[in-house]
Amino acid sequence: MKRILYTAFDVVPSPKGSSTHITAFVQALATAGYQVDLLTPSDGHLPSHDHYAGARLFRVALDPALSMLRRASHFDAAVAAHLATQHYDLVHFRSIWGGLAALHAQPQYGYRTLFEVNGLPSIELKYHYPGLADGSREAAALHAQLRAQETWLIRQSDLLITPAAVTATFLASRGADPARLRVIPNGATPLADVAPPLRGDLPTLLYIGTLADWQGLHTLIAAVALVLTVRPVRLRIVGSGRSRQRRALAKLAAKLGVSAAVQIEEPVPHAEVADLIASTDVGVAPLEPNDRNVTQGCCPIKVIEYMAAARPVVAANLPVVRELLHEDVEGLLAIPGNPRDLARCILSLLDDPARAVAMGQRAAVRVRTSLTWQHAQQRLLAVYEQVGA
């Protein structure tokens, strides 16, 4: 039985899509007969040792008073310490923190390495911490350091996997050998019994996911204000975010006079997501046209989960979205960053319920045929065979 270390700088379990992704991959590996150890940060409440999804789970305690970068460095050091006490055949990492330790120790311990790239900090950190893009010499030096570390991992890992073709192209531009790149799209669990939404006097739009600045939520709230000039509607924004992000969204809703129609809610456990989506009419994914979504790429789990619940999608017309759905088949695509066009697409579906239901049904079929977590798990196991694990 081959031994795998899967490291992730993400709390598991959590309501975030990263936790859903990690869980699906760990389950696949454990079910296939691999002995899997999962190493993640602790949230300060979960136990330090656990069994999860068929794996042994080790959680690293990190001081919340430290900066994110200090916590990341401490996590990487914890991965290095863990590797010194265990034997593994393959180390699978989804962050440069944990990945740096794994690559540095690979010559000593002789395992294979697999870099799962969902996003890179040189692209994404500035959206979470705007001070890291303030134009200072310190910010520029940090960005250069992150890029150098990423490039080393991209070029030295034995194999790389990523959930989007856009991201694969980006990684190749950063020095990855295309022969060592594999695309494994994210997935969702299809519902056994999918019902149409319960239509009432007030149709509901749903956004699930983080409140990160790249998500386009300001565009969405502005679009809802335009929709409300034509017909009543309710928007539910359900997801994790910092207090500054919640305040900014609430402030915009108040400024536009739509606070009564916009609910900004805490995330729900992933087990409740399908029922949440099923209670709404349209799923929205208004991604902004920026370097995170256009250049680096992503694979928005929310879009696949809307589709799995047989809900039509209104999303930004970006290549990463077009990898998942077809315009006017499973959903409608709006000009990215354009509230007026987003409102047009939303109204088009709300004004034609039969069309919306048909799109949702086609979306559910697309997920069942090619975008379930089972599909992703099968692709992952094929990659493990290729990397020699």
Q: What is the pLDDT of residues 186-212, one digit of tens each?
A: 999 998 776 666 566 799 999 999 999
Two structure tokens written together for 354: 């039969």
CATH code, domain with 84: 3.40.50.2000
Yes or no: say if 214 and 292 are a contact pair by the CB < 8 Å rule: yes
- Which pLDDT score is estimated for 135? 86
**pLDDT lower than 70: segments of the chain:** 194-200
Same domain? 306 vs 236 = yes
CA distances from 260 to 181, 242, 247, 280 (A): 47, 22, 15, 17
Same domain? 365 vs 376 = no
Q: Which of 301, 282, 289 is nearest to 335 (CA)?
A: 289
Same domain? 166 vs 30 = yes
Spell out a b/e string for 364-386, using b for 16 or more CB atoms within 10 Å of the CB, else e: bebbbeebbbebbbebbbebbee
- Which pLDDT score is estimated for 326? 97
196 belongs to a structural domain: no
Domain count, the chain: 2
269 belongs to a structural domain: yes
194 belongs to a structural domain: no
192 belongs to a structural domain: no
Same domain? 83 vs 48 = yes
**pLDDT tens digits, one per residue of 48-78:** 999 999 999 999 999 999 999 999 999 999 9
CA distances from 27 to 2, 67, 211, 311, 386 (A): 15, 32, 28, 27, 19
199 belongs to a structural domain: no
Same domain? 366 vs 377 = no
Same domain? 175 vs 227 = no
pTM: 0.95
Q: Which domain holds residue 286?
A: 204-370
Same domain? 151 vs 213 = no
Same domain? 47 vs 134 = yes
63 belongs to a structural domain: yes
- Which pLDDT score is estimated for 198? 58
First-last CA distance in the chain: 10
Same domain? 351 vs 381 = no
Q: How far is CA 151 from the centre of its chain?
A: 22
Same domain? 213 vs 323 = yes
Same domain? 378 vs 332 = no
DSSP assignment letter at 272: G
Which single residue is written with the structure tokens 């794996």?
55
Q: How far apart are CA 100 and CA 340, in angstroms?
A: 44
Same domain? 76 vs 105 = yes
